[in-house]
Each structure stands twice: as structure tokens, then as C-alpha cells.
Structure 1
Amino acid sequence: MKLLFFIIVSVLILGCSTSNPYNDEKMYDLASQFKDLSQTVDGSIKFGEVAIENGHQALERVSIEQPDKVAPFAEYIIKVEVQGDNAVLLLCDEDIALIEDAGCNAVLDKVYWQALNPNSCVITLDSHQLCK
């Protein structure tokens, strides 16, 4: 009986310690929406009628004009960096990076939620390399 109890407790502890708090199905759906948001922000920088000077301003403009694009990310932090005439966006949960994308290309650039690192909410992509 003690052995059975030990095995059950061990399995529960092991399962809890190695589980990822982010559901892949939900995150892939979120990643698709994030890709769409990054392309929208990138487009507003390149083709918008108002000159955009920084990432915060670009995201604010999209939030006003197309709030449905930003709504799925209400519980997250979105960082935007303008690199030349390109936008790079990073989605974070507090200080943990989840998804990073340059809006200039058709692929999702970086997925981080499968290997979580604290204090990783820093933009690392170089759009000059990705947006040729």
C-alpha cells in the first residue's frame, strides 16, 4: 500500500513539475493572431497616413483603428520596436517571452512558450536580417 501511495505521489509531483503552463493549442491560435497583429502594425508604419516615431505609438494607433486585433492580448504585455520602417513585436506574460515576430514576412519568427525563461521579455529579432 505504501508503495502504491509513493508511486502515485511521485507521478503527480513529476507531472506538475515538468508541465508547461501554456496549452499548445491555445498558444498556436494566439500565435496566428499575433502574426496578424504584427503585420498590421508593420503596415501602419509603412503605409499609414500618420508618421509613427516609436513602437508604443504604432501599437496605440492600431488599438484605436482596429481594437479587435489587440483584444486577444489583453492579459499579456506587447512590446513593439520600430527598426527602420519595420515593426518587431514581442508578446510576454509578465517577464517571460512567449512569441516574437517581425511583421514584414509571412512566417512566425520565434516561439518561446515551449521553453520558458524568466526575464526574457526583451526584443531580440533584427528586422534588417529578416525583412530583405
Structure 2
Amino acid sequence: MKHLLFIIVSMLIVGCSASNPYNDEKMYDLASQFKDLSQTVDGAIKFGEVTVETGQQALERVSVEQPDKVAPFAEYVIKVELQGDNAVLLLCDDNIALIEDAGCNAVLDKVYWQVLNPNSCVITLDSHQLCK
């Protein structure tokens, strides 16, 4: 009976840990750095000396000028979308959205790593509503 209880508890622990491969502590730290990156990219668009045409160009400029801001995300996909003069960034692990943020405000806008959805690496935020 003790062995059966041990097996059931072990399976529950493994099942729960396998359902979300992202450690909350690590991801909250990454989210803080991502918020900083989104504000930096947004600032490069609004106040940079060189005009950028796309969000990807703004991210590339930040990568060259401040590589430490982008370094923590080397193993991830970063999507950037310009919405007017605002930047919206999305961090993905392959095709799974993890964090989404508009760089114009002081809050982290969306956290997705706690409920993972395949094929969700698509920007959904509307900066016109968030950046007033």
C-alpha cells in the first residue's frame, strides 16, 4: 500500500512538472529583462538619431548599441511590431508565446508561459490602447 501511494504521488509530481517546463523564478527574471528591452526598443524608435522603418530594424540597432539588453534572449525568438511610433515585442520559444510587452508603459503587459499554447507566437497587443 505504501508503494502504491508513493507511485501515485510521484506520478502526480512528474505530471504537474511536465505540464509547464518554464520555471517561474527564471521566467519572472527574464520578464523583467524583457520589459527593459521593450522600453529600450521603444525609446530607440521615438528618440533615436536614426529613423527605423521596421521593428526588426529597431531591435537590430539596440542589438548593436546595447548587446547586453538582447543577450539574455539568445535562445528565444523576438518579434517586434511597430504600431505608430510604439514598439510591441513578443518573446517566443519556437512557436509558443512566452511574454508580450508594449515598451511605452511601465508595466509588463502579458505573461503567457504559465499556460502554453502552440502556434501562439503572434503579436496581439494594441499599443494604441495601452500607450495613452
TM-score (norm 2): 0.94
* Secondary structure of 2:5's aligned partner: helix
Bigger drift between 54-63 and 12-21 goes to 12-21
CA RMSD after TM alignment: 1.0
SS in 1 for 2:25: helix
Equivalent position amino acid for 1:37 in 2: L
What residue in structure 2 maps to residue 12 of structure 1? 10
Q: Residue 75 of structure 1 corresponds to which residue in structure 2?
A: 75
CA distance in 2, matches of 1:94, 1:16: 24
TM-score of the two chains, using structure 1 as the length reference:
0.94
Specify the SS of the correspondent of 2:101: strand
> Aligned partner of 2:101: which letter?
D
| 2:22 maps to 1:22 | yes
Shift of 1:5: 2.5
Q: Percent identity?
A: 81
* Offset from partner CA, 1:76-96 (integer Å, 9 cap, x none): 111100111000000111111
Q: Matched residues in 2 for 1:10 and 1:117: separation?
A: 27
TM-superposed CA distance for 1:50, in Å, is 1.1
Unaligned runs of 5+ in 1: none
C-alpha displacement of 1:109: 0.3
